[in-house]
Amino acid sequence: MPGHYSWPASQDEKQSRVGISLYDHQCPDTAKPTRTKWLGRAAMLIGLCLLLSTILKRCLAGLSGMPDANYRVGDIKWWPCTGADDVPGAECGYAIVPLDYFNASAGVAKIALGRYKATGTSRKGIVVLNPGGPGGLGKRLATVTGPQFQDRIGEEYDMIGFDPRGIGETEPRTQCFPTPEAHTAFIANTVLERGYDVGPDLTDPANRYHLIQLQRDADALWQTQFEICAKTMGDTLRYMGTSTVARDIDFITSLLEGKDALINYYGTSYGTVIGQYLVNMCDIPIVQAMNIHGVVDADDWANLPAYKWERLWQTSTEAAYDIFTDDCAEAGPSRCALSKSDDEPGSDILRRLEQFLEDLYDKPLAVPNANPPSILTNGRTRLFLLGALQKPATWPNTADALDRAMKGDGSAILQRLQDGQYLVDLERSAVSCNDNKPFSAPTPEEVIDEQLYVLEHISRFSLALVVAEPDAGCQFWPVTPPERFLGPWNHALRNPILIISNTADPATPISNGRRVQESMGDNARLLVQDSPGHCSHALPSLCTTKAMRAFFADGTLPEEGTICSVDASPFPLNGTAQEYSEEDAKLLESVRRIAQIVSRKWD
C-alpha cells in the first residue's frame, strides 16, 4: 500500500456527493430489519417546520434539559467564550440537530460546540475532536486547548469540540438524579464507589462467595439506577447512543463546511469507537482524514456484554504496572518515594505494594484526615493504582501518595480518587447501554467466575476496571435506541485512517489497535508508540506528533511497522533535560498541556 494519499476529491467523487442531503448518506437503519436511506434534507426541514408549532411543545414537555421549541433544525450560533480557562479567540456555540434522525416529529437536540479557528495562512477545513469517556466534554478541547491541538494536528484547521449527546452542556442531558450530589450519595460507600475487595487467594471458595455477594449488590444498584432513569427521563434516554452521535458529527460538518464536505476527525479512547462508527456506518465514504488514539475495539463495544471485555482489554495493564515499579526503582529514593535504596529492583517495590493491598483486604486503613473522612480499602487502592497507571506524568505524586498510605496516612489517595470522579450522573451508561446489543442477563456467579479467570491469568486489575469504567448492568437498561449499529467493521474507505496505540496502555491495549487495523486491512495504518499510559498524549513524543501533522497535512502515512519513542520520563532527572529546537519544544509542551487538561477528567 502506498504511504501517501492526495486528498482533493476527483470530479466523479464531487459529483457523487452533490445532491446528497444531510440525511441521505445511505447509512443502514440498524434499528429495523431492512436497510433504508436517510430522509431528504428538504423533506425533513419542511416537515419539521410544519410540525414544530403543534407537536414539538407536546413532545418536549417534561423532558429534562430539552431545547426550547423555538429552535429549528440547522440553527447554528457562535459567540466569544468567556470561561476562566478559555483561550483568547475561542468561540462557544451550539448547533440544532434532529433529536431522532428517523422521526421528524421527535423534536430537536442542542449540541454544545467549541471552535478555535485556523491560524495558518491556508485554511483546509475543520477537525472534529473527541476526548473519550463516554462522558468527556469535547467542547473544551477546542476552547481550552485549541492552540495545542493545532500544534499537534495543523494550524490550517479549525478545531471543533463538542459535548456528545447527553453529556455536558448538550441538551437533552442525561439527568436521572435531581442533582450530581444525589447520585454521588446514592453510590457512596457501595461497591460502585469503593470497588471490589479481592482476597489474596483467588482459589479460596470464601473469596469467590464474597465477590458474588458484591456482584449481587452491584446488579441491584444498576437496576435501581436504571429504573430511576426510566421514571425521570423516559424515552429521552433513547437518543444518547454512538450511532446518533456519529450522525450528529456528519450533520454538524455539513452545517459548517457545506453538504458535500467530508469529515476530519481526531478521537481518543471511547472517541475511537465514534471514529469506527463514522467510517463503517455509511454506504459511501463520508470521512476524509481520521486519526484515533488508544483504541477501543468497536466490535467488542457493541456486540459483547461488558463483563466479557476485561479478558480482551486488560492485556497491557500488567506491563504498565511493571514499568511503573521498574522506573521507580531506576529513579531511586531521591525521585520515587516507593524506592528504598539505589540498588533495589522493581520487583521488590511491586511485592511491597501487593502486600500492602493484601493487608488492606483484612484490615482497611482508617483515614480520619480525609475530606470527608473515610477508610482506605483494598478495592479503593486498586482503583487508585489503575487510574495512576494511565497517567505516567503523575507517577512521582502517585508514588508519594502510596508511600504515605503504607506509612498510615491514606488521605492523598482518597483525595485523588474523589478528584478523579467526573461522571455527574449516568452519562456513560446512557451511551454504552444504548450501543450494547441486548443479551441474556448473566448470573452473579457467571460474572465473577469470568472475572476470577481474568484476575488469575491476565490482570489483577480486572475488577477495578469494572468500577473505573462503569458500563455494566445493561441487561437492566429500560429503553431501545432508534438505531443500534453492530457492524460490519471493515468498510472500504476513501482514505486510510491512522491508528495510534501505546505498547503498555492499561485501558486500551495495543492488542485492540492491532485487531482494529487487521479488520480494516489496507484501510488503516497502525503507528505504535513505545510507552506506558493511556493514549499517545500520556507521554509526549515528537515522532508521534510529527507523524500526525504529516497525516493531516496531505495524507502522508508512517511506514508500516513504525515505532515511536517518547521524549519524556515519568521520573525526570533534574538538570539533564535534552536540548530541543524552539519548534520541537513547543510541540512537546503542547502535548503535555493536552494530557494535563484531559487527565483532569473535565471536572
- The answer as to whether 533 is a domain residue is yes
Asked whether residue 600 carries a pLDDT value surpassing 90, the answer given is: no
Among 60-64, 109-113, 522-526, the range scoring the smallest mean pLDDT is 60-64
- The answer as to whether 409 is a domain residue is no
Q: Residue 596 has what pLDDT? A: 86
- The answer as to whether 456 is a domain residue is no
Distance of CA 335 to the CA centre of its chain: 31
- The answer as to whether 325 is a domain residue is no
Give, for 344, the enclosing helix (H) or strand (E): none
* 277 vs 254: CA distance, rounded Å: 17
How large is the average pLDDT for residues 481-509?
95
- The answer as to whether 355 is a domain residue is no
Is residue 482 within 8 Å of 102, Cβ to Cβ?
Answer: yes
Cβ neighbourhood burial of 580 (10 Å; 0-12, 13-18, 19+): middle
* 297 vs 312: CA distance, rounded Å: 9
Task: Please work out, in degrees rounded to the nearest 5, the angle formed at the alpha carbon of residue 413 by the alpha carbons of 397 and 180.
Answer: 120
Q: What is the pLDDT of residues 208-241, one digit of tens each?
A: 999 999 999 999 999 999 999 999 999 999 999 9
* 326 vs 346: CA distance, rounded Å: 4
Asked whether residue 9 carries a pLDDT value surpassing 50, the answer given is: no
Mean pLDDT (the chain, rounded)? 88
Asked whether residue 420 carries a pLDDT value surpassing 80, the answer given is: no
Q: What is the pLDDT of residues 356-402, one digit of tens each?
A: 999 999 999 999 999 889 999 999 999 999 999 999 999 999 999 99
The answer, yes or no, to whether the previous bond of 80 is cis (omega within 30 of 0) is no
Q: For 90, what's the count of Cα atoms within 13 Å in the CB-facing half-sphere?
A: 26
* 413 vs 138: CA distance, rounded Å: 27
Q: From residue 25, how far is each of 41, 204, 288, 598 by CA, in Å?
A: 11, 55, 15, 33
Percent of the chain with pLDDT over 90: 81
**429 closest CA partner among 600, 224, 567, 571:** 224
Amino acid letter, residue 19: G
421: pLDDT confidence band, cut at 50, 70 and 90?
low
Find the radius of gyration of the CA atoms of the chain: 24
Helices and strands in the chain, H and E counts? 23, 12
Q: How many CB atoms lie within 10 A of CB 582?
A: 6
Residue 365: what are its φ and ψ, rounded to 5°? -95, 125
Dihedral over alpha carbons 304, 305, 308, 310 (to 10 degrees):
100
Q: Residue 27 has what pLDDT? A: 55
DSSP 283-312: SS--EEEEEEES---HHHHHHS-GGGTHHH
Q: Residue 555 has what pLDDT? A: 95
CATH number at residue 149: 3.40.50.1820
Q: For residue 419, give the C-alpha cell.
A: 478528584
573: pLDDT confidence band, cut at 50, 70 and 90?
confident
Domain span at residue 503?
11-170+244-304+483-599
* 569 vs 71: CA distance, rounded Å: 50
- The answer as to whether 273 is a domain residue is yes
**Residue in the block written with cell 520515587:** 336
Task: Please work out, in degrees rounded to the nearest 5, the angle formed at the alpha carbon of residue 102 by the alpha carbons of 99 and 107.
Answer: 30
* 184 vs 229: CA distance, rounded Å: 15
Q: From residue 514, how far is each of 337, 463, 521 by CA, in Å?
A: 36, 24, 10
Q: What is the pLDDT of residues 31-78, one digit of tens each?
A: 333 333 343 443 344 344 433 333 333 333 344 567 776 889 999 999
Rounded to the nearest 10 degrees, the angle between the axes of helix 411-419 and helix 395-406 is: 140
DSSP 452-475: HHHHHHT-TTHHHHHHHS----GG
How large is the average pLDDT for residues 81-85?
94
Is residue 413 within 8 Å of 401, Cβ to Cβ?
Answer: yes
How large is the average pLDDT for residues 16-33?
40
**465 closest CA partner among 516, 410, 509, 414:** 509
Q: How many CB atoms lie within 10 A of CB 217?
A: 14
Q: Residue 260 has what pLDDT? A: 87
123: pLDDT confidence band, cut at 50, 70 and 90?
very high
Buried b (16+ CB within 10 A) or exposed e, 284-303: ebbbbbbbbbbbbbbbbbbb
**152 closest CA partner among 594, 549, 553:** 549
Is residue 201 within 8 Å of 207, Cβ to Cβ?
Answer: yes
Give the 3-state secondary structure of residue 263: strand
Q: What is the pLDDT of residues 154-202, one digit of tens each?
A: 999 999 999 999 999 999 999 999 999 999 999 999 999 999 999 999 9
State the total domains in the chain.
1
**Residue in the block written with cell 515499579:** 325
Is residue 123 within 8 Å of 261, Cβ to Cβ?
Answer: no
Q: For residue 73, give the C-alpha cell.
A: 433544525
User: What's 280's DSSP letter?
Assistant: H
Q: What is the pLDDT of residues 449-460, one digit of tens each?
A: 999 999 999 999
- The answer as to whether 43 is a domain residue is yes
577: pLDDT confidence band, cut at 50, 70 and 90?
low
Asked whether residue 276 carries a pLDDT value surpassing 70, the answer given is: yes
Asked whether residue 124 carries a pLDDT value surpassing 80, the answer given is: yes
14: pLDDT confidence band, cut at 50, 70 and 90?
very low
**594 closest CA partner among 161, 135, 296:** 161
User: What's 39's DSSP letter?
Assistant: P
Among 16-20, 41-45, 480-484, 567-571, the range scoring the smallest mean pLDDT is 16-20
How large is the average pLDDT for residues 580-590?
93
* 392 vs 539: CA distance, rounded Å: 7
* 486 vs 280: CA distance, rounded Å: 10
Amino acid letter, residue 426: L
Is residue 320 within 8 Å of 460, Cβ to Cβ?
Answer: no
- The answer as to whether 70 is a domain residue is yes
Handedness of CA 2, 496, 558, 123 (dihedral sign): positive
Q: Residue 287 has what pLDDT? A: 93
Asked whether residue 20 carries a pLDDT value surpassing 50, the answer given is: no
SS (H, E, C) 566-582: CCCCCCCCCCCCCCCCH
